[in-house]
Amino acid sequence: MIKKEVDCFINILDNMGKELVDEVRREFLKTKLIDFFYDNKNDKEIIELFESLNEFGYFKMARMVASIYERYKLLLNLKNKYPFKHNLIEVDSIFKSVEYLSPFCEDDENIFLDIVFTALTTHKSLEELTKNLTILHFKNDLSPEAISIKIFKSYGQILLLEKAFLAEVFYFKYGGIIRMPRGNSRGSRPFCINLVKLTAEGKRWHINEIIEMDNGELKPVFLFCGGWGCHHDWEPDAFYEYKNKLKV
């Protein structure tokens, strides 16, 4: 690969998501690169890219790309192991939901991963996943049902984020209704009530702002919204930036 092509590649990556904070930017680049690797399945060309990055002194970039390529290969193995009809972004979304929730599992992480992947790739119901998780033990007296609900919710939320990244959409609204206390239900949290009201007033949040939020219970807020049992979602607003530009 000639230096001109490498410089062009670096320039594209440098400009991608420039306004994003480091943590988000890495996830954004990872999503873009995994999608790129999957669309360009020629391993020889990808290895040539690593070698060229090193040759022309882009050592830090080479390490990052190589690290993401390792993730890509892990996802490819998972795709081949389980009955996937999905693309790698969907595989990554399931894997990330397991990564975030496995610290709450007191048993073998690989068993947890296998149960979750089998459930989500064979379209098991919430009840079936809950039943399969009863063989495991969870910290903080969490029930298999609570973990199952969060698995389904977090998978969907991460998938939304990764699809938004692919489309380079970075603004989100807080979706859902305000639930009033009823019986044993405490209703919506003050954290969620505030965000739902602000959304109704037209407020949107950049992913950088969401990453810094604290619900006082469970982080990251982008994934867990208000915390355990929260029924709200972050929904990408693809037209927010465009509408704002029209106002200027």
Q: Can you give the pLDDT at residue 245?
A: 65
Q: Can you give the pLDDT at residue 45?
A: 81
Residues of the chain with pLDDT under 50: none
What is the dihedral angle through the alpha carbons of 164, 191, 209, 60, rounded to the nearest 10 degrees?
-80
- The percentage of the chain sitting over the pLDDT mark of 90, rounded to a whole number, equals 62
The two structure tokens encoding residue 248: 């200027």
Task: Give pTM, 2 decimals.
Answer: 0.87
Q: Can you give the pLDDT at residue 138?
A: 95
- What are the tens digits of pLDDT across the range 14-47? 888 888 998 899 999 999 999 888 877 677 888 8
